[in-house]
Structure 1
Amino acid sequence: MKILKFSDGRRTAFGILQGTNQIRILSGSPFEGPITPTDAVVALSEVTLLVPTVAHPRVFGIGLNYRSHIAETGRGTPEIPPVFMKPDTALLPHGGQIVFPRAAQIVHYETELVAVIGRTAKQVRREDALTHVLGYTCGNDVSERAYQRKEMAMGLMTMGKAADTFAPIGPWIETEADPTRLRMTGRLNGQIVQDCETSDLLFDVADLISYLSSFITLLPGDLVMTGTPGGVGPLSPGDTFEIEIEGVGRLTNTVAAFTPVRT
């Protein structure tokens, strides 16, 4: 089942994708009760897709979580998941434009599988962790490396990850995906630059949810960006970056430079 969030100019709602171009509108939010389809339908081509979660989710990121990415950075293997957070102002839907902040120097793409929390998770065991996941979607952990490196030298990792539009997520939530062996492909202007399976994860989705929930109560709609494989590289204004995850979906975003607002 593919659950999406959309606006048609009159309302914002959740729906289920039927076929390739029809949305069956849901009654209410899948994060607040059972998934209840209505009789109403709308064409996918007639709506604007939104980030498929609650209005203000918490966004958890995980660094150095693919063995191939650890190898390309030359860093040691983490003993625990390196966790950081992005603000909800970083969120960007499918089709939206990644906009560099004024201070940007080196901006990289990061293809990621994102777990969407469906029910409250607190102190959950690894074997129970996936029962708290509604489904999975695509994500891009866009990162400003010059500032990230300066922050990491001080033991921090915040502003280099936190800029507006630096967390593209979408296009929808796939509820039936098996997160243990999904192929992920990142394409920069149509050329494959990242190609990996989630079997390369150091800490898998169940590990991450169990670990996070041992400190923080995870809430419905929270997003867990699970890390990126090897092959990260720079983005430039005018680029298009596409993330495709097998059985989940395809997230596409364009890139633009910062434009001062004239008053």
Structure 2
Amino acid sequence: MKIARLSLEQGPRYAVLDEENAQYLVLADDPMFGKFEPTGQRIAEQDARLVAPMLPRSKVVGVAGTYPAPGMSVADRDRPTLDDLLVFLKPNTAVIGPNDPIVLPSWAPQVDHEVELAVVIGRVSKDVPVNRAAEAIFGYTVANDVTARLESLTRAKTFDTACPVGPIIDTSLDPSDVQLVSRVNGEQRRTGRTSELAYSIPELVSYLSTLFTLLPGDIILTGTPAGDGQIEAGQSVEVECEGIGILRNPVVRQD
């Protein structure tokens, strides 16, 4: 099932994509916390204005170091331990949706984009064993972990607009081997497959649940493949995940 949030006259509403008829079926409630109850309102896919499919009530959790370093193959790398992975948090105020501008801070001379498979948590989860981690997952989307190149990780990761997410949440995606691609002004910059991850999605979810409680609506960023990430004002950035779609955002700079 593919779930989106639409900007409608009555405000943002969740909807399910009817792919056969290219329509969104508007829902009466948030499907994570309520029933999958259609209102009867239908919006043509081509006319739909999408916003971020999930605004975390709690946090965005990022993980870095999960993909091979530049120039290194999966076979040649030394698998990092889970404790070697860099874990960080982004506030929900960093989250934006499709076509919203990424605003480069005036104090950041270089800012990079990072295409990542994102996991949306669906239930309260703490110390979840790997073999039950799938029960904690509501679905998957694609995210752009926008990062200023600064020594301070907090400043680098947490500014407003630093976490574009979308365009939809896919609740039935198999995340074990899907392609990730990013483009800047149509030029490919990063590409990789989730099969290159040092740890599977269930392993990452299980590990993170030992560090802190994961709450419904939390988003986990699973890392980015190597490549050129720098972005500038005036450019357009696309991050794409096979099976989910393309998330596109223009780039502007703060005055």
After superposition, the C-alpha distances for 1:88-107 in whole angstroms (9 at most, x for unaligned) are 11111011110111101111
For residues 124-203 of structure 1, the aligned pairs below 5 Å read 124-145=128-149, 147=150, 150-151=151-152, 157-203=153-199
* Distance in 1 (alpha carbons) for counterparts of 2:55 and 2:103: 23
Which one of the candidate residues 78, 81, 85 is aligned to 1:79?
81
| Equivalent position SS for 2:211 | coil
Asked whether the 8 Å contact 2:2–2:169 carries over to 1, the reply is yes
Once residues 205 and 242 of structure 1 are traced to their aligned partners in structure 2, the CA distance between those partners, rounded to angstroms, is 23
Farther off after superposition, 211-220 or 173-182: 211-220
| Residue identity opposite 1:129 in structure 2 | A
TM-score normalised over the length of structure 1: 0.88
Query: How many angstroms apart in 2 are the aligned matches of 1:30 and 1:70?
Result: 42
Tell me the equivalent position of 2:5.
5
For each residue in 1:161-218, what CA deviation from the matched residue of structure 2 results, as whole angstroms up to 9, or x when unmatched?
1111010000010111111100111111111111111011112211111011113221
Cα deviations across residues 119-165 of structure 1 (Å, max 9, x unaligned)? 221211111101211111110001101x1xx23xxxxx211011110
- Does structure 1 retain, via aligned residues, the 8 Å contact 2:190–2:227? yes
Task: Report the Cα offset of residue 39 of structure 1.
Answer: 2.2
Mapped to 1, the partners of 2:52 and 2:58 lie a distance apart of 10
Distance in 2, matches of 1:143 and 1:232, equals 13
Are residues 120 and 36 of structure 1, via their aligned partners in 2, closer, same or farther at CA, if it must alter by over 3 Å? farther
Identity of aligned residues (%): 36
Structure 2 unaligned regions, length at least 5: none
TM-score by length of 2: 0.91
Following TM superposition, by how much is the alpha carbon of 1:116 offset from its aligned partner in structure 2, in angstroms? Answer: 0.6
- Whether 1:65 aligns to 2:69 is no
Question: Structure 1 CA distance, aligned partners of 2:227 and 2:134?
Answer: 28
**Secondary structure at 2:34 match in 1:** coil
Q: Which runs of 4 or more aligned residues in structure 1 lie more than 4 Å from their structure 2 counterparts after TM superposition?
A: 69-72
Match of 2:210 in 1: 214
Q: Which SS does the other structure have where 2:32 is aligned?
A: coil
Q: Output the amino acid matched with 2:6.
A: F
What is the 5 A alignment of 1:42-57?
A: 42-54=43-55, 56-57=57-58
Checking the alignment, whether the CA contact within 8 Å between 1:118 and 1:132 is kept in structure 2 is: yes
Structure 1 residue 9, shift from structure 2 partner: 2.7
Secondary structure at the aligned position of 1:67 is classed as coil
Match for residue 94 of structure 2? 90
Note if 1:99 corresponds to 2:103: yes
Structure 1 residues 238 and 54 mapped into 2: Cα distance closer, same or farther (>3 Å)?
closer
In structure 1, distance between residues paired with 2:114 and 2:228: 6
Secondary structure of the equivalent of 1:130? Answer: helix
The one-letter code sitting in structure 2 at the alignment partner of 1:230 is: A
Kept in 2: contact 1:136–1:177 (CA 8 A): yes
The SS at the match of 1:161 is helix
1:68 is displaced (CA, Å) by: 3.8
Structure 1 residues 63, 69: closer, same or farther in 2, change over 3 A?
farther
Aligned residues between the structures: 249
The match for 2:15 is 15
Counterpart-to-counterpart distance in 2, 1:175 and 1:256: 32
Please tell me the root mean square deviation across aligned C-alpha atoms, in Å: 2.0
Query: In the aligned structure 2, how far is the partner of 1:96 from the partner of 1:27?
Result: 25
2:101–2:161 Cα contact (<8 Å) kept: yes
Distance 1:252 1:125, change over 3 A: same
Q: C-alpha separation between the residues in 1 aligned to 2:204 and 2:28?
A: 31
